[in-house]
Amino acid sequence: MSDGRYGAVDVLYAEEGRARAALVVAADPGYSSIVEEHVAHLARVADYRPGQFYVRELPAIRAVLAGTRPLDLLMVDGYVDLDPNGRPGLGTHVHSALSIPVIGVAKTAFRSATHAIAVRRGHAVKPLYVTAAGLDRVDAAALVQAMAGPFRLPDALRRVDQLTRGIATPKIAPTPPNG
């Protein structure tokens, strides 16, 4: 993968049933050149239902993606699939909905996700867990390993987390969807 549009997305839920979704878009697969930042606010999201997290998350992801041109790849916070047999996780549903490759980057191990590739970055002892749809897991893990930033969590994923938490505001003007 070379030139293209590479996104990273995250969603944060408030107790009042609201959500804030954030997206950063890079011009390179290492996410070293962030070209857009977006935040979308949702007044109401579905309640959490075990085993159906995507029902809650997918509308928020769609809302933040509505403000940008199509992406070539998207990273989500979490798992693409939940076990080696392909039990769908959030990333599988995002991949199906958007028809683009999706990389799942999880910060914690999920018991049944024995197929996830552990990626250690920087001086971190604790790994990130990488799964993928639409591209090989090994290639996805290599992309996460090579992402910009010296810490366990790549800079783009740290930035999207800051945007969802409201501790940062978008600094890079979005490119209009038709522009």
What domains lie within the chain, and their CATH numbers? 6-165 (3.30.2170.10)
Q: What are phi and psi of 145, to 5 degrees?
A: -60, -40
Cα angle value 4/5/9 (rounded, 5°): 155
pLDDT of 46 over the 70 cut = no
- Can you tell me the mean pLDDT for 82-104? 92
| Whole-number Å distance between alpha carbons of 174 and 176 | 6
pLDDT of 64 over the 90 cut = yes
Q: What are phi and psi of 92, to 5 degrees?
A: -65, -45
Could you tell me the pTM of the whole model? 0.90
